[in-house]
Amino acid sequence: MDLKHSRSVKLNDGHYMPRLGFGTYAPPAVPKSKAFECTKVAIEAGFRHIDAALFYGNEEEVGAAIREKIADGTVKREDIFYTTKLWCTYLQPELVREALEISLKKLQLDYVDLFIIHNPVPMKSGHELLPKDANGKIILDTVDLRDTWEALEKCKDAGLTKSIGVSNFNRKQLEMILNKPGLKYKPTCNQVECHVYLNQSKLLEYCKSKDIVLVAYSALGSHRDPNWVEQNSPQLLDDPVLHAIAKKRNRTPGQVALRYLLQRGVVVLAKSFSEKRIKENMQIFEFELTADDMKEIDGLNKNFRYSKFLYAVNHPNYPFSEEY
Protein backbone atom coordinates (compact mmCIF):
# COMPACT_ATOMS: atom_id res chain seq x y z
CA MET A 1 0.00 0.00 0.00
CA ASP A 2 1.17 3.50 -0.89
CA LEU A 3 2.44 4.83 2.45
CA LYS A 4 1.26 8.39 1.80
CA HIS A 5 -2.30 7.06 1.53
CA SER A 6 -2.20 4.26 4.10
CA ARG A 7 -4.32 6.40 6.43
CA SER A 8 -6.62 7.51 3.62
CA VAL A 9 -9.40 5.97 1.58
CA LYS A 10 -9.67 6.45 -2.18
CA LEU A 11 -12.98 8.03 -3.18
CA ASN A 12 -14.90 7.02 -6.29
CA ASP A 13 -13.71 10.20 -8.06
CA GLY A 14 -10.01 9.38 -7.49
CA HIS A 15 -9.35 11.81 -4.63
CA TYR A 16 -8.16 10.58 -1.22
CA MET A 17 -9.91 11.22 2.11
CA PRO A 18 -8.02 10.73 5.40
CA ARG A 19 -9.71 7.99 7.46
CA LEU A 20 -9.71 10.09 10.63
CA GLY A 21 -11.17 13.59 10.67
CA PHE A 22 -11.41 16.39 13.20
CA GLY A 23 -15.00 17.58 13.85
CA THR A 24 -15.47 21.30 14.46
CA TYR A 25 -19.10 21.57 15.60
CA ALA A 26 -19.53 23.19 19.00
CA PRO A 27 -22.74 23.97 20.93
CA PRO A 28 -23.54 27.73 21.06
CA ALA A 29 -22.19 28.06 24.62
CA VAL A 30 -18.63 27.29 23.43
CA PRO A 31 -16.76 30.49 22.44
CA LYS A 32 -15.83 30.70 18.73
CA SER A 33 -12.16 31.24 19.63
CA LYS A 34 -12.10 27.63 20.84
CA ALA A 35 -12.55 26.41 17.25
CA PHE A 36 -9.48 28.43 16.21
CA GLU A 37 -7.27 27.06 19.01
CA CYS A 38 -8.46 23.45 18.75
CA THR A 39 -8.15 23.26 14.96
CA LYS A 40 -4.52 24.37 15.32
CA VAL A 41 -3.93 21.76 18.04
CA ALA A 42 -5.55 19.09 15.83
CA ILE A 43 -3.32 19.94 12.84
CA GLU A 44 -0.24 19.94 15.09
CA ALA A 45 -1.30 16.52 16.45
CA GLY A 46 -1.46 15.13 12.90
CA PHE A 47 -5.09 15.59 11.83
CA ARG A 48 -5.32 16.39 8.11
CA HIS A 49 -9.06 15.98 7.57
CA ILE A 50 -11.13 18.86 8.96
CA ASP A 51 -14.92 18.51 8.97
CA ALA A 52 -16.83 21.78 9.14
CA ALA A 53 -20.03 23.46 7.93
CA LEU A 54 -21.55 26.85 7.26
CA PHE A 55 -24.20 26.03 9.88
CA TYR A 56 -21.58 25.64 12.63
CA GLY A 57 -20.92 29.38 12.46
CA ASN A 58 -17.16 29.10 12.98
CA GLU A 59 -15.65 28.78 9.51
CA GLU A 60 -13.80 32.09 9.91
CA GLU A 61 -12.00 30.69 12.95
CA VAL A 62 -11.36 27.25 11.45
CA GLY A 63 -10.12 28.82 8.20
CA ALA A 64 -7.81 31.16 10.11
CA ALA A 65 -6.33 28.18 11.99
CA ILE A 66 -5.68 26.29 8.75
CA ARG A 67 -4.12 29.34 7.09
CA GLU A 68 -1.90 29.94 10.13
CA LYS A 69 -0.65 26.32 10.02
CA ILE A 70 0.06 26.72 6.29
CA ALA A 71 1.87 30.02 6.87
CA ASP A 72 4.12 28.58 9.59
CA GLY A 73 5.09 25.62 7.39
CA THR A 74 3.33 22.87 9.41
CA VAL A 75 1.26 21.85 6.36
CA LYS A 76 0.63 22.78 2.74
CA ARG A 77 -2.89 23.47 1.50
CA GLU A 78 -2.87 20.18 -0.44
CA ASP A 79 -2.13 18.25 2.79
CA ILE A 80 -5.45 19.37 4.27
CA PHE A 81 -8.76 17.72 3.38
CA TYR A 82 -11.44 20.29 4.22
CA THR A 83 -15.16 19.48 4.19
CA THR A 84 -17.96 22.00 4.29
CA LYS A 85 -21.69 21.43 4.01
CA LEU A 86 -24.63 22.88 2.10
CA TRP A 87 -27.10 24.01 4.75
CA CYS A 88 -30.84 23.26 4.51
CA THR A 89 -31.84 26.84 3.64
CA TYR A 90 -29.72 26.67 0.46
CA LEU A 91 -31.00 23.43 -1.11
CA GLN A 92 -32.74 25.23 -3.99
CA PRO A 93 -30.39 24.68 -6.96
CA GLU A 94 -29.92 28.40 -7.67
CA LEU A 95 -28.58 28.96 -4.13
CA VAL A 96 -26.05 26.10 -3.98
CA ARG A 97 -23.03 27.86 -5.46
CA GLU A 98 -23.76 31.01 -3.45
CA ALA A 99 -23.69 28.96 -0.21
CA LEU A 100 -20.32 27.43 -1.12
CA GLU A 101 -18.93 30.85 -2.01
CA ILE A 102 -20.05 32.19 1.39
CA SER A 103 -18.04 29.40 3.07
CA LEU A 104 -14.99 30.01 0.86
CA LYS A 105 -15.09 33.71 1.67
CA LYS A 106 -15.25 33.00 5.41
CA LEU A 107 -12.41 30.50 5.10
CA GLN A 108 -10.37 32.69 2.73
CA LEU A 109 -9.60 29.56 0.70
CA ASP A 110 -9.89 29.06 -3.08
CA TYR A 111 -11.54 25.64 -2.88
CA VAL A 112 -12.76 22.99 -0.46
CA ASP A 113 -11.96 19.29 -0.78
CA LEU A 114 -15.49 18.11 -0.15
CA PHE A 115 -18.90 19.79 -0.35
CA ILE A 116 -21.85 17.77 0.93
CA ILE A 117 -25.60 18.24 1.32
CA HIS A 118 -25.93 18.66 5.11
CA ASN A 119 -29.40 17.17 5.39
CA PRO A 120 -32.04 16.09 2.84
CA VAL A 121 -34.84 18.14 4.45
CA PRO A 122 -35.00 21.67 3.02
CA MET A 123 -35.89 24.66 5.16
CA LYS A 124 -37.33 27.96 3.91
CA SER A 125 -34.73 29.49 1.57
CA GLY A 126 -32.54 32.36 2.63
CA HIS A 127 -29.69 33.47 4.84
CA GLU A 128 -31.58 32.88 8.09
CA LEU A 129 -30.22 29.48 9.12
CA LEU A 130 -33.16 28.43 11.31
CA PRO A 131 -36.25 30.12 9.86
CA LYS A 132 -39.12 29.88 12.36
CA ASP A 133 -42.82 30.74 12.29
CA ALA A 134 -44.70 32.76 14.94
CA ASN A 135 -44.94 29.63 17.14
CA GLY A 136 -41.21 29.00 17.01
CA LYS A 137 -41.53 26.03 14.65
CA ILE A 138 -38.88 25.59 11.95
CA ILE A 139 -40.32 26.41 8.50
CA LEU A 140 -39.67 23.61 6.02
CA ASP A 141 -39.74 23.69 2.23
CA THR A 142 -39.73 21.25 -0.70
CA VAL A 143 -37.06 20.63 -3.33
CA ASP A 144 -36.10 17.92 -5.78
CA LEU A 145 -32.76 16.75 -4.38
CA ARG A 146 -31.73 15.63 -7.88
CA ASP A 147 -31.75 19.30 -8.93
CA THR A 148 -29.74 20.20 -5.84
CA TRP A 149 -27.26 17.46 -6.76
CA GLU A 150 -26.86 18.86 -10.29
CA ALA A 151 -25.91 22.20 -8.77
CA LEU A 152 -23.25 20.46 -6.64
CA GLU A 153 -21.88 18.81 -9.78
CA LYS A 154 -21.52 22.30 -11.30
CA CYS A 155 -19.55 23.46 -8.23
CA LYS A 156 -17.14 20.56 -8.80
CA ASP A 157 -16.81 21.42 -12.49
CA ALA A 158 -16.10 25.04 -11.52
CA GLY A 159 -13.20 23.91 -9.31
CA LEU A 160 -14.77 25.26 -6.12
CA THR A 161 -14.73 21.77 -4.60
CA LYS A 162 -12.73 18.66 -5.46
CA SER A 163 -15.39 16.15 -4.39
CA ILE A 164 -19.12 16.14 -3.63
CA GLY A 165 -21.24 14.00 -1.35
CA VAL A 166 -24.23 13.84 0.94
CA SER A 167 -25.07 13.57 4.64
CA ASN A 168 -27.99 12.04 6.56
CA PHE A 169 -29.30 10.28 3.41
CA ASN A 170 -30.99 6.91 3.66
CA ARG A 171 -30.69 4.15 1.08
CA LYS A 172 -33.71 5.33 -0.96
CA GLN A 173 -32.36 8.86 -1.13
CA LEU A 174 -28.95 7.60 -2.27
CA GLU A 175 -30.64 5.45 -4.90
CA MET A 176 -32.60 8.44 -6.15
CA ILE A 177 -29.33 10.28 -6.85
CA LEU A 178 -27.55 7.21 -8.26
CA ASN A 179 -30.46 6.49 -10.63
CA LYS A 180 -30.84 10.09 -11.74
CA PRO A 181 -30.90 10.41 -15.55
CA GLY A 182 -27.78 12.26 -16.72
CA LEU A 183 -25.90 11.75 -13.45
CA LYS A 184 -22.40 13.16 -13.91
CA TYR A 185 -20.77 12.33 -10.56
CA LYS A 186 -21.79 9.80 -7.91
CA PRO A 187 -21.80 10.95 -4.29
CA THR A 188 -18.34 10.10 -2.90
CA CYS A 189 -19.64 9.70 0.64
CA ASN A 190 -22.61 9.69 2.96
CA GLN A 191 -21.89 11.25 6.34
CA VAL A 192 -24.22 9.83 8.98
CA GLU A 193 -24.48 9.34 12.72
CA CYS A 194 -22.60 6.13 13.43
CA HIS A 195 -21.20 4.71 16.68
CA VAL A 196 -21.30 1.54 18.77
CA TYR A 197 -24.99 2.08 19.68
CA LEU A 198 -25.93 2.77 16.02
CA ASN A 199 -23.45 0.78 13.98
CA GLN A 200 -25.26 1.28 10.63
CA SER A 201 -24.30 -2.20 9.42
CA LYS A 202 -26.97 -2.31 6.66
CA LEU A 203 -26.32 1.20 5.36
CA LEU A 204 -22.57 0.55 5.50
CA GLU A 205 -22.96 -2.63 3.44
CA TYR A 206 -25.11 -0.78 0.90
CA CYS A 207 -22.65 2.13 0.64
CA LYS A 208 -19.71 -0.24 0.16
CA SER A 209 -21.59 -2.00 -2.66
CA LYS A 210 -21.92 1.37 -4.45
CA ASP A 211 -18.35 2.55 -3.73
CA ILE A 212 -19.66 5.29 -1.44
CA VAL A 213 -17.66 5.94 1.73
CA LEU A 214 -19.60 6.03 4.98
CA VAL A 215 -18.34 8.83 7.22
CA ALA A 216 -19.30 8.67 10.91
CA TYR A 217 -20.35 11.68 12.95
CA SER A 218 -21.10 11.47 16.69
CA ALA A 219 -18.63 8.54 16.64
CA LEU A 220 -18.05 9.02 20.39
CA GLY A 221 -21.71 9.56 21.18
CA SER A 222 -22.94 13.11 20.97
CA HIS A 223 -22.13 16.70 21.92
CA ARG A 224 -25.49 16.51 23.79
CA ASP A 225 -26.51 20.02 22.70
CA PRO A 226 -30.00 20.32 24.29
CA ASN A 227 -31.31 22.01 21.11
CA TRP A 228 -30.83 18.77 19.18
CA VAL A 229 -30.33 15.88 21.62
CA GLU A 230 -32.53 14.52 24.43
CA GLN A 231 -30.72 14.97 27.72
CA ASN A 232 -31.52 11.48 29.03
CA SER A 233 -29.59 9.86 26.14
CA PRO A 234 -27.07 7.16 27.19
CA GLN A 235 -23.47 8.22 27.82
CA LEU A 236 -21.68 6.08 25.24
CA LEU A 237 -18.20 6.52 26.72
CA ASP A 238 -19.40 5.12 30.07
CA ASP A 239 -20.26 1.76 28.49
CA PRO A 240 -18.82 -1.10 30.59
CA VAL A 241 -17.94 -3.22 27.53
CA LEU A 242 -15.87 -0.39 26.05
CA HIS A 243 -14.21 0.12 29.44
CA ALA A 244 -13.33 -3.56 29.77
CA ILE A 245 -11.81 -3.75 26.28
CA ALA A 246 -9.99 -0.45 26.81
CA LYS A 247 -8.45 -1.75 30.02
CA LYS A 248 -7.40 -4.99 28.31
CA ARG A 249 -5.79 -3.12 25.40
CA ASN A 250 -4.33 -0.37 27.58
CA ARG A 251 -6.32 2.27 25.67
CA THR A 252 -9.15 4.70 26.44
CA PRO A 253 -12.84 3.85 25.82
CA GLY A 254 -12.89 6.67 23.23
CA GLN A 255 -9.97 5.15 21.33
CA VAL A 256 -11.71 1.75 21.31
CA ALA A 257 -14.99 3.30 20.07
CA LEU A 258 -13.17 5.04 17.20
CA ARG A 259 -10.97 2.07 16.32
CA TYR A 260 -14.05 -0.16 16.08
CA LEU A 261 -15.48 2.05 13.32
CA LEU A 262 -12.14 2.40 11.55
CA GLN A 263 -11.71 -1.38 11.33
CA ARG A 264 -15.14 -1.69 9.69
CA GLY A 265 -14.03 0.59 6.84
CA VAL A 266 -15.80 3.68 8.15
CA VAL A 267 -14.15 7.12 7.99
CA VAL A 268 -14.33 8.50 11.52
CA LEU A 269 -14.85 12.08 12.69
CA ALA A 270 -13.65 12.74 16.23
CA LYS A 271 -14.66 15.96 17.92
CA SER A 272 -12.94 17.20 21.02
CA PHE A 273 -11.98 20.53 22.54
CA SER A 274 -9.47 18.97 24.94
CA GLU A 275 -5.84 18.98 23.81
CA LYS A 276 -5.19 15.70 25.62
CA ARG A 277 -8.10 13.91 23.93
CA ILE A 278 -7.32 15.37 20.50
CA LYS A 279 -3.88 13.75 20.77
CA GLU A 280 -5.37 10.48 22.10
CA ASN A 281 -7.81 10.34 19.17
CA MET A 282 -4.89 10.53 16.76
CA GLN A 283 -3.42 7.35 18.28
CA ILE A 284 -6.09 4.99 16.95
CA PHE A 285 -3.75 3.88 14.15
CA GLU A 286 -1.32 2.49 16.73
CA PHE A 287 -3.32 -0.56 17.83
CA GLU A 288 -5.81 -3.14 16.58
CA LEU A 289 -8.90 -4.74 18.07
CA THR A 290 -9.16 -8.54 17.86
CA ALA A 291 -12.01 -10.34 16.07
CA ASP A 292 -13.45 -11.14 19.53
CA ASP A 293 -13.28 -7.47 20.57
CA MET A 294 -15.09 -6.50 17.36
CA LYS A 295 -17.79 -9.12 17.91
CA GLU A 296 -18.32 -8.01 21.48
CA ILE A 297 -18.71 -4.38 20.38
CA ASP A 298 -21.08 -5.44 17.57
CA GLY A 299 -23.31 -6.68 20.40
CA LEU A 300 -23.69 -3.14 21.78
CA ASN A 301 -25.71 -1.97 18.78
CA LYS A 302 -29.22 -0.87 19.73
CA ASN A 303 -30.04 1.35 16.73
CA PHE A 304 -30.08 4.33 19.09
CA ARG A 305 -29.92 7.79 17.52
CA TYR A 306 -28.74 10.90 19.34
CA SER A 307 -29.73 13.25 16.48
CA LYS A 308 -33.33 12.48 15.55
CA PHE A 309 -34.16 15.74 13.68
CA LEU A 310 -37.66 15.61 15.18
CA TYR A 311 -38.55 19.02 13.66
CA ALA A 312 -38.69 17.25 10.25
CA VAL A 313 -40.39 14.01 11.23
CA ASN A 314 -43.48 14.65 9.06
CA HIS A 315 -41.57 15.86 5.99
CA PRO A 316 -41.48 13.49 2.97
CA ASN A 317 -37.66 13.78 2.93
CA TYR A 318 -37.33 12.79 6.61
CA PRO A 319 -34.49 10.24 6.35
CA PHE A 320 -35.11 8.05 9.39
CA SER A 321 -38.56 6.62 8.66
CA GLU A 322 -36.85 3.91 6.63
CA GLU A 323 -34.98 1.01 8.24
CA TYR A 324 -31.75 2.38 6.72
| Active site residues per annotation | 56
Buried b (16+ CB within 10 A) or exposed e, 169-194: bbbebbebbeebeeeebbbbbbbbbb
Long-range CB contacts (within 8 A, 24+) of 235-240? 236/195, 236/196, 236/197, 239/196, 239/300
Sorted by sequence, the CB contacts under 8 Å of residue 57 that are 6+ apart come out as 32
Helix (H, G, I), strand (E, B) or coil at 78: helix
- Per-position b or e across 45-66, b if 16+ CB within 10 A of its CB: ebbbbbbbbbbbebbebbbbbb
CA count, 13 A, side-chain hemisphere, 81: 25
Find the farthest-apart pair of alpha carbons in the chain and give their distance in angstroms, rounded.
57
Q: Which of 301, 298, 321 is nearest to 309 (CA)?
A: 321
Half-sphere exposure of 306 (CA within 13 A, CB side): 26
Cα R_g (the chain), whole angstroms: 19
For the purposes of burial, counting CB atoms within 10 Å of the CB of 316, is it exposed (0-12), middle (13-18) or buried (19 or more)?
exposed
The answer to whether 11 touches 213, Cβ cutoff 8 Å, is: yes
- The answer to whether 170 and 320 have CB atoms below 8 angstroms apart is yes
Q: What single letter denotes the amino acid at residue 20?
A: L
Nearest C-alpha neighbor of 54 from the set 98, 19, 120: 98
